[in-house]
Chain A
């Protein structure tokens, strides 16, 4: 049979087939092992080494007396490992089973657990968190029944805690997970997927100090992702602690008084809009006029920072951003600006006297209606029957608008000769520009100028011209001029301290966890406002009379002004289409100022009735005039 030629030929073809298979394999191997070999060596190395970040413990935040405002507490996170590892059919079945049991234990549905497992926002080599902050009982029960929960681990994770509750929520801020988009940016290079970073307040503005630096451990892992050997470890360096200038008790008091004031304002009738005041929101600033230290910075409505502890829920986040709730996340003392109304008159009078437009004894005649800018543009004093004949001094004490219309007009007339002097004085007092406070999202307010008006109304040619009315309106703090409560605190500090504009700050000291001081924040003088001390003396006398004898008198009845003289200015000014915002700017003692207090109530009406009582009660407490005062502010006058 083997002589058969056909068989021989066919066996030869079979042998050639064998040879061909041999050649194909060798050719492919030459490609894989010889040509691409070193590439695959690199891939194999990368395959087995994982860099596991070791989270640094975030620094604590303390008030000026060492009272803890943000700390860390341990929380238990239930997580699953090897979720994205290659899985056999058996593994998949087992995981399904585990998911079911875990869901029952954690009070979730299996679908919810699955959803967490599919979270793409997790480093694939890190355990996937299923539920954060579970009770110790749940954590222990899972650990005790570990065999029933393969691949389930309990991780300890520090989370933020707020021993003072809501107090200072806006100052403290909150944390949020770093997003995928941020991670692509260079300034987030030190973060890893799943890390949290400060999103608001000092958590944000002192992120670099608080966060510390994550460590990292390079480990060799097997295919299932289990660590086999540790290669090297870079220890994390914990974040630094921050001591703020805030006094917790004063902060809490300010927030409570503000909330009460809003409540009260809402029961007061506004004759202009013919309904009760809306008073949805407000802000309080208490500051040291001699160095810019902020003792309290309150904003209402407020929120509970604990909502953010384990990542905020969608429903809570929606509520916090719902216009109907008046944006509780906004820190209104810093991030929002309002027309300052008559509180601007202290700066305006100082500027006018410095500029020689007026002297303290300049005389004016107020009839209630002012037509100095032309009969076609009448303007009115807040007192309809008019103040009669009065000096500039009296104009401040009585907050006479007519006096300041005249000053505004005089400034207007000098524009051609000297430029925009009125704006210049406001700039000197720190208006129109962010103060540079160490809090995020600061608004710079607005000091309108001819150039500003032109661009602002660039589609509306007839509104581009700067009219006398623009100047006169600005002179009484109405119209387009805007200031944040914090800017007003700085401006009044400058008036109070004799002309130095300080940069406000909320952090006093930065220390290492061991207590070593890294940075001691010193008072920073932005500038001298350039007003003669004599002129400022006059203005201060007038402001003192505002309280003893003027527009704020009713709010301070019974206050021992003889021993603790107070200087202040009331204000009331509308944002377009809304009810008047109530302002009160004050400092004490008038002769040797220690505290500046600014109170602003949105759509709250009159400064003296809506805002001044808050300041009064703050002073009561600051000077120990109430039985339960617990504020501790050591003398920090430089």
Chain B
């Protein structure tokens, strides 16, 4: 049947390596989630995650089947919906771990800040790719930054510093790929630094956030409190040595020394059980995935697709690096999950949908059925 399709048909250009890498990472994650939780809840969390994988694969496929170009038209709608949800969090949101992040929907907790990542990526990519000549002008950049700031501030006051930082990373990634003048980028960076300084000075940051940063600078300052997580994660990873202590083995995981071993600190579980080798496999898969997205960005038929890919790279790279960095003690604790690996529906589904977008860009690099809607 495929033979009958025209050469430019999207189905003839499915990026199988991207799908394979994505599924491999999801499977790896599921295995680690099981390992981290089997002692306490048996199969139940694995079962839930497998469910999310199914949902995520469907989400990826559905997203990929749409021509991403159509999204350009609706970018404002998505952005608007997400903004409303982000505001609603304050009204009907559920408080957990000292922050309002979730909206309960039936048995699930919807985390609007996750889906907002996609909306933000689409919005910024659309704003910065509307000019035929390709390069966005300063006005475009100003508007894009303003749109980004609205989201950043909304999650920042939840307070969810981690997601605010991811939004920032997405913004920087897309601006950079869109060709922003490097001096301007530096200026934005400077303004952010001043803003952060003022946030600390004016006590806008919550004490626990400041503590996390302080403890990151000196974990021994509070080995049983805020520094505990970092210390235990490092012990777990270090004690895994080269080959690991074996899947399902290792006292740090088994005896609950690693807090949130299925979510924020799942990397420590991996480090303890499968060692350097196991981590190398994981970060190689991640590296290849990101490299693949970069390649898709390069081969995109338009700037919009390129910028979407750049946004997804920025989002995934920042999340992965921050999460791993937190586990190995080179980044502060920010509560950012490891994409595709950490347990959690919103995060997983968001990542799958963004990869669906990337796949959609890849499938339509030769025009595809959307040609008539061309630029």
A residues at B contact (CB < 8 Å)? 1-2, 4, 6-8, 10-11, 13-15, 17-19, 21-22, 24-26, 28-30, 32-34, 36-41, 43-45, 47-48, 84-89, 220-224, 228
Contacts and interface: CB of A to CB of B under 8 A. Distances in A.
B232 interface: yes
B165 interface: no
A25 B298 contact: no
A36 B325 CA distance: 17
Contacts of A28: 328-330
Q: Chain B's interface: helix, strand, loop or mixed, by majority?
A: helix
B321 A21 contact: yes
A21 B240 CA distance: 21
Contact of A33 (B97, B275, B324, B329): B275
A8 B298 contact: yes
B135 interface: yes
A44 B252 contact: yes
A1 B234 contact: no
Contacts of A24: 321, 330
Interface stretch (B8-16, B84-92, B289-297): B289-297
Contacts of B313: 14, 18
B275 A14 contact: no
B149 interface: no
A265 to B, nearest CB: 61
A259 to B, nearest CB: 54
A11 B294 contact: yes
B349 interface: no
A39 B238 CA distance: 8
A223 B251 CA distance: 10
Interface of B: 97-98, 134-135, 173, 176-177, 179, 224-225, 228-229, 232, 234-242, 250-252, 255-259, 271-272, 275-276, 279-280, 283, 287, 290-291, 294, 297-303, 306, 310, 313, 317, 320-321, 324-325, 328-330
B17 to A, nearest CB: 15
A2 B228 contact: no
A37 B228 CA distance: 19
A29 B279 CA distance: 9
A56 to B, nearest CB: 29
A87 B224 CA distance: 8
B299 to A, nearest CB: 6
Contacts of A13: 176
Contacts of B179: 6-7, 10
A4 B134 contact: yes
B141 to A, nearest CB: 15
Contact of A18 (B176, B224, B241, B317): B317
A48 B98 contact: no
Given A6-B135, A6-B179, A24-B330, A33 B237 contact: yes
B294 A15 contact: yes
A361 to B, nearest CB: 86
Contacts of B299: 2
Nearest to B176: A10
Best-surrounded residue of B237, B251, B300 (most CB of chain A within 10 A) = B251
A117 to B, nearest CB: 14
Given A22-B287, A37-B242, A41-B241, 7 more contacts: A18-B287, A18-B290, A32-B271, A37-B241, A47-B251, A223-B256, A223-B257
Contacts of B236: 44
- The 4 A-B pairs of least Cβ separation, nearest first, read A40-B238, A37-B241, A222-B255, A44-B239
